[in-house]
Amino acid sequence: MYINENFIKLPQSYLFSTVASKLKEYRESNPSADLIRMDIGDVTLPIAPCVIEAMHKAIDDMSSSETFHGYGPEQGYPFLREAIAKVDYQERGIEISADDIFISDGAKSDLGNLGNIYSKKSVIGVADPGYPVYIDSSVMDGRGGELLSDGRWSRILYMECKPENGFKPAVPSRGVDVIFLCSPCNPTGTVFTRDELKEWVEYAQRNRSLIIFDSAYEAFVTDPDIPRSIYEIEGAKEVAIEIRSFSKTAGFTGLRCGYTVVPSELKGTDREGNEFQLRQLWNRRQSTKFNGASYVVQRGAEALYTSEGQEAIKKNIGIYLSNARYIRKAMEKAGFEVFGGENSPYVWVKWPGETDSWKLFERILSEAEVSSTPGIGFGECGAGFIRLTGFNSPENTRKAMERISRIKFNEEEGLGEDFKSLNDIKAIRALDDLDVLDDLTHALGI
């Protein structure tokens, strides 16, 4: 038996497990440390009562033969597909039908599994920095080529994101087959405007590319001018698959449920140029390799589409957003260059003078007892950046920001002029005047 050698080509360690093991090491050698986790990429607030109630009822259904549910439809139960089509799309003026929606056990599985339905030879385009799953799952499927000395893969097109382009990928000058786009973006927290997304749709139309639009964080968009779905853009149904998740929207990271939209209009071709509906291929793939998300969890997800469920989503997201906004403002006041933190739980912070993200991570950990995620883990262009998240409590978020801002720098370290403002504690004191939570409560109407 020969193994899939693509697995051994992949660098050993996965970013988040490296962070976790470094934190474990730190805790072991500093048992009394009051560590604040600002690297959390997981939700922390509990599930809404209406979801819990619906799941309890679904469990009860399983206890009698009249209401018992065995294998469900591989595509998901109609009750959930219809609720999604209606509330997430049709009521927002987007024509997506329940048949275009495939319920999953979360976005991550589908991001990897979609690779089954496009050619092994497809050239992939990814933003650098980006969510590591896009690259690693493409490499596992043999679409990476060779790992080069700079840590990049020879067959993958990296769309570089830097402060100069606002950390948003620009359309490439050449055509690629499959492009992963993420908005709101993990890790940078940046979002595409309608015009930017329109450019991407037009690019895909010109080049006959497929866009895989990861909108796992769409629920964090509060600005009505920022698209939550790529299908808000005309023509997108012919070029894009949209991936969504209840994980961050509604605290389902442990329950596992999401969905993928493959519109009937979306087609690909074989080598002879014959057209095929991607929805049909995906349906075939799911019917063969997936047996559906659990009935209990789908009933829980259905409850999110009641008015009670929608209110609960807004409330929890509002808390994460207010934390993110606070981090953004605190870091800006302390003199850092900052991206994201609006319409997103992620804040992307540039640390002037330091380009080694892991050193930065160690330093913030040892001097402030705050954990972050090193930007380099998301790609070469993440060097010198850290990702902070709004998933901790408001109290811890404030405490962590104050601690980071107190880190002492001096010029012998070669850190330059920029650092003077970091030591200005007065600036951080002024943060108490930031009525971030009030602004948001108002914006969300809660």
Q: Which parts of this chain interact with ligand PLP (CB under 6 A)?
A: 41, 106-108, 131, 182, 186, 214, 216, 245, 247, 253, 258
Count the neighbouring beta carbons within 10 Å of the beta carbon of residue 31.
6
Min dist CB 189 to ligand PLP, Å, is 11
Instruction: Enter the tokens of residue 92.
Output: 């927002």
Q: CA-to-CA distance for 90 and 388, rounded, in angstroms?
A: 34
Q: Which is nearer to ligand PLP, 108 or 329 (CB)?
A: 108
Q: CA-to-CA distance for 326 and 324, rounded, in angstroms?
A: 5
Min dist CB 215 to ligand PLP, Å, is 9
Query: What is residue 334's three-state secondary structure?
Result: coil
- Which secondary structure element, helix H or strand E, spans residue 82, and what is its range? helix 78-84
Min dist CB 344 to ligand PLP, Å, is 10
Of 314, 308, 303, which Cα lies nearest the Cα of 77?
A: 303
Q: Which is nearer to ligand PLP, 36 or 297 (CB)?
A: 297
Q: CA-to-CA distance for 20 and 374, rounded, in angstroms?
A: 12
Q: Which is nearer to ligand PLP, 107 or 123 (CB)?
A: 107
Q: Which is nearer to ligand PLP, 106 or 375 (CB)?
A: 106
Q: Which is nearer to ligand PLP, 114 or 334 (CB)?
A: 114
Q: Which is nearer to ligand PLP, 90 or 113 (CB)?
A: 113
Count the neighbouring beta carbons within 10 Å of the beta carbon of residue 12.
7
Q: Which is nearer to ligand PLP, 112 or 175 (CB)?
A: 112
Q: Are 347 and 388 in contact (CB under 8 A)?
A: yes
Distances (CA, A) of 342 to 82, 98, 135, 228, 321: 30, 31, 26, 14, 7
Min dist CB 387 to ligand PLP, Å, is 11
Min dist CB 187 to ligand PLP, Å, is 8
Min dist CB 162 to ligand PLP, Å, is 20
Min dist CB 383 to ligand PLP, Å, is 20
Cβ burial of 433 (10 Å; 0-12, 13-18, 19+) is exposed
